[in-house]
Structure 1
Amino acid sequence: MGGLTKEWATQVAEAELSSTLPVHTKGVAKLAVEVSQVFGQDAGLLIAAATLHDVGYAPRLATTGFCPLDGARFFRDEHGADERLVRLVANDSFALLEAEERGLREELAGEFPLLEEPLLVDALVYCDMTTTPDGGRTTAAERVAEILGRYGDDSVVGRFIRRAAPEIFAAVGRVEAVLAAQPR
């Protein structure tokens, strides 16, 4: 059964995505480590989900072409991974909205219901949506604009990200508020 350690997550991500993790994935995982202190016993879960959130892009796993669904199925079926991890990966960055654009909403929602831990879900969104493709830090607004520029307004991803933007901004704001309230 798949663990929730950073080492396990890194090993799986490297095996599937290449021997060297993509820089975006490294940046998302690094940010998760930085914010994980807020999550106590769930820190490892957040770090693992951040490290693994894009594994569904691996060519051998891309059966539907929808990264969150393909990645979650892989973790469930090949690794027997923790259900909470699988559900976080499946619902990364408001994936239900993109699943709807792709005609996969029923599959995603049926197999991997949204985790009923809003701050943990928000934290993964925060880590993903404030990290650039080259692993640097950015704002959520800049990240949404970058995604729109890369995919185009009329693409599936473009339509999804425009719909998800208000939710993304709200999730990032909630995490930033929690982080700001932490003693330094």
Structure 2
Amino acid sequence: MGQMLVDEDWNWALRVAERELGVSLPRRWAHSQGVARAAERLAHVAGKDAGLLVAAAVLHDVGYAPRLAVTGFHPLDGARFLRDEHHADGRLVRLVAHHSFALLEAEERGLQGELEAEFPLLKDQRLVDALVWCDMTTTPTGEPTTAEQRVAEIVGRYGADSVVGRFIRRASPEIFAAVGRVETVLAAQPR
């Protein structure tokens, strides 16, 4: 795949995500589809990168697929899969690797060095924020929610003292800030 994502690449991303998550993790697949629907709503915010955003949204949790879960850290496992098996667009791989402030969770897991070395942070804050908004305003079953409710749901599901619970509580100020930036742009758009 080249550096520009087009409609055929979005279709490719949808097929890959469904193949990896659809049967083995149907709830995760429902979430990924909901995140992609949220990304479609942000097409005007992403501009020429709308296809990239939707592809990253539908693929962001692909690393949970049982056959891909090598490290148990889904952003890293998913990014490696997309890079190594599919030779995917570098920006797509980096968005998946760092979605929703994954670097903070990598630190909790002792994987920060690996993540940073293999997948440098994407500098396009607009795209990073948009993917955070899509992920953090979508429930595990793919329905819209608020970022506050989503963070509370994650803490409740994993437990406050778990790796994920500690990470999400640390990341929540950044998550809420990113979501706020996107909502400010959305509020300024004509209806």
- Report TM bin, short chain: over 0.9
Distance 2:147 2:159 in 1: 17
Residue in structure 1 matching 2:163, options 156, 160, 167? 156
Determine if contact 2:44/2:50 at 8 Å carries over to the other structure: yes
Distance 1:150 1:18 in 2: 21
Letter in 1 for 2:113: E
Alignment pair present for 1:11 and 2:15: yes
Alignment pair present for 1:170 and 2:184: no
Deviations 1:100-151 (A, max 9, x none): 0000000001111110000100000000000001111111010000000000
Matching residue of 1:65: 72
Alignment pair present for 1:48 and 2:55: yes
**% identical equivalent positions:** 72
Structure 1 gaps of 5+ residues are none
Letter in 2 for 1:182: Q
Distance 1:181 1:113 in 2: 31
Deviation at 1:157, TM superposition (A): 0.1
Number of residues of Structure 1 aligned to a counterpart in Structure 2 = 184
Deviations 1:160-180 (A, max 9, x none): 000000000000000001111
Residue in structure 2 matching 1:77, options 78, 84, 92? 84
Matching residue of 1:90: 97
Distance 2:85 2:120 in 1: 19
Alignment of 1:124-163 (within 5 A): 124-163=131-170
Deviation at 1:18, TM superposition (A): 2.5
Structure 2 gaps of 5+ residues are none
* TM-score computed with the length of structure 2 as normaliser: 0.93
Deviation at 1:91, TM superposition (A): 0.1
| 2:42 aligned counterpart, secondary structure | helix
* TM-score computed with the length of structure 1 as normaliser: 0.96
Residue in structure 1 matching 2:114, options 104, 107, 112? 107
Deviations 1:4-61 (A, max 9, x none): 3321111000111135672111110001001112111100000000000000000111
| 2:130 aligned counterpart, secondary structure | helix
Distance 2:88 2:94 in 1: 10
Deviating above 6 A after TM superposition, structure 1's stretches of 4 or more consecutive aligned residues are: none
Distance 2:33 2:22 in 1: 13
Q: Which moved more, 1:64-73 or 1:29-38?
A: 29-38
